[in-house]
Structure 1
Amino acid sequence: MKIENSLPCSQLPEAPPQTGLQFTVATEEDFDDIMAMSKDIYGGLDYLPSRYQAWLQESNRTVILARKQGKVIALESVCVIDDGETMLVEGLRVAPQERGKGVAGVLLRFCSQLVKSKYPDVKVSRLTRDDQLGPKDFQKYRLITKQGILLVRFRAEDLKLRLGDLGPNISVAGEALSTANIPVCLEPAEVHQLFLSDVLMQDVLPNATIVQDWQPFKPLPSNMAILMKKDIDWMVDDAKRPTMTSLCTFPFHVPIGDDWYYLNIDMFGKNLTLAIQQLLCHLRRHTGTLKGYVMCQVFMEPALWKPMAEFFRETLKVELVKEYTEQCVVESDVI
Structure 2
Amino acid sequence: MRQLPEGLSQEGLQFSGATEEDFDDIMGISQGIDGGLDYLPTRYMDWLQETNRTVIVARKQGKLIAMESVFVIDDGETMLVQALRVAPQERGKGVVGVLQRFCSDLVKSKFPDVKVTRLTRDLLLPKDFQKYRLITKQGILLVRFRAEELKLRLSDLGLGDIQSSLSTSFKPPPVRLDNTAVRQLYLTSDRMHGVLPNATIIQDSQPFKLLPSNMAILLKKDIDWMVDDVANPTVTSLCTFPYRVPIGDDWYSLNINMFGTELDPIRQQFLCHLQRHTATLKGHVMCQVFLDPPLWKPMVEFCRNTLNVELVKEYTQQCVVESDVISGGGRRGVGDVGARKE
TM tier, smaller: over 0.9
Alignment correspondent of 1:9:
5
CA distance in 2, matches of 1:146, 1:186: 26
**Alpha-carbon deviations, 1:117-149, whole Å to 9, x = none?**
11111000001122x211221111000011110
CA distance in 2, matches of 1:200, 1:269: 12
CA distance in 1, matches of 2:190, 2:12: 52
Matched to 2:5, the amino acid is: C
Structure-to-structure mapping, 1:174-253, within 5 angstroms: 176=167, 180-253=171-244
Alignment correspondent of 1:46:
38
Structure-to-structure mapping, 1:91-110, within 5 angstroms: 91-110=83-102
User: Structure 1's 55 and 179: CA in aligned 2 closer, same or farther, altered over 3 A?
Assistant: farther
Between 1 and 2, higher relative CO (CA 8 Å, sep ≥ 6) is seen in 2
Extract structure 1 runs of 4+ deviating beyond 3 A. 174-180
Q: 2:70 aligns with which of 78, 83, 101?
A: 78
Please provide the CA RMSD for this pair.
Answer: 1.5
Alignment correspondent of 2:108:
116
Matched to 1:330, the amino acid is: V
CA distance in 2, matches of 1:178, 1:294: 32
Contact 2:13 2:59 (C-alpha < 8 Å) held by counterparts: yes
Contact 1:184 1:236 (C-alpha < 8 Å) held by counterparts: yes
Q: 1:297 aligns with which of 288, 300, 307?
A: 288
Matched to 1:15, the amino acid is: S
CA distance in 2, matches of 1:326, 1:97: 27
Alignment correspondent of 2:321:
330
Q: 1:140 aligns with which of 131, 138, 143?
A: 131
Structure-to-structure mapping, 1:309-324, within 5 angstroms: 309-324=300-315
**Alpha-carbon deviations, 1:161-187, whole Å to 9, x = none?**
111122233379x85376632100001
Q: What TM-score comes out, normalization by structure 1 length?
A: 0.94
Any stretches of 5+ residues in structure 2 without a counterpart? 327-342
Matched to 2:84, the amino acid is: L
Percent of paired sites with the same residue: 72
Q: What is the Cα deviation at residue 269 of structure 1?
A: 0.4
Q: What TM-score comes out, normalization by structure 2 length?
A: 0.92
